[in-house]
Structure 1
Amino acid sequence: MSDENNLDEIPVNIISKNEINNLSDDSAQSDTDDITVDELQNLLEIEKQKVKDYEDKIKHVLADYQNLNKKTQSDIEKGVNTKIDEFMLDFLKVYDDFTRAKQVFAESKINTEGLDSILKNMDSLLAKYNVTPIDALGEIFDPHLHEAISIIADSELDSNTITKELRKGYISHKRVIRPTLVEISKK
């Protein structure tokens, strides 16, 4: 049994402090003899260049990340605005129906207070989502804002003057979501 325990032991040589100092002095002397100051300066320049290259890469990666972040935010905002605009187009159909109902009630001398209250709430909702009406009556026709569906001859008005609004148009997020349907004049 004692022979088995001896197999696991590692022989250790005891070295004095003087021998350690002599060994370290010899290795330091041989290392410095192998590398010159010029070689060390060259190595230092190489390492400095590596650091500069890494710094440049980090700057580029950071710039790419910032650009991606801005683009992502912009894409999200555009997507949300597009969905709001789609909803608003459907909402405007209902709004138009209430507006026409109010006109019919007013012509028939029926009380419109209830409809006025509903339309006021709808106007507030449109304003909340930055949907603004396009004022067209008396303006010059602009194909970006208006859609002409009829033309009347009128020598007193300039050509392309809007004489009648047939359906209100709206702008949302600086885009026309529905052009105003208009009647224009021709000389």
Structure 2
Amino acid sequence: MQEETTVQAVQEGELEAPATEAGTQTQEHALPAPSELDQVKAERDQLLDRLARLQAEFDNARKREGKERQDVRDYTVSNTVEPFLGVMDNFQLALKSEGSIEQLRSGVELILKQMEDALRGLNVVPVEAVGAQFDPRIHEALGSIETKEFPDHQVLEEIRRGYRIRDKLLRPALVRIAANPSQISE
């Protein structure tokens, strides 16, 4: 509205039109003052510098996080492998031994116990199998044995042991189950 009043005043001769470089620009479209331009350029330079610093900081944080993740992975693997090194040492000693079959067998049983202890230390426990009722969530049936002595679907034989880590199944137990034709499964 003020612009219209100024334009009317110039047309009526009350005011003189401001002199500009192109002769047609009004005062509103004039270039900013040199000090204002320098201020905007300085602000832009500060923002570009800040952006570059933030990008570098982000890249460094990403690299640091990747290295920390690798360090945690290495630490976890070393803590997991350490209990099994003794087991390997004992297997090597058993292979070098010149004892009787009974001595070798008792040595292997001790190594197996050591291995089970190492797994238990990692919260890995065997899945209950023989004598339990077949559960398809933790057992995998490889066959059935027809019998009248045991209830239908009772696990009679463990072919391969299954394991859990806490509540998570690592692998199911491979089993043979009872098939009792005198019991009707519904």
Q: TM-score, normalised by structure 1?
A: 0.45
Q: TM-score, normalised by structure 2?
A: 0.45
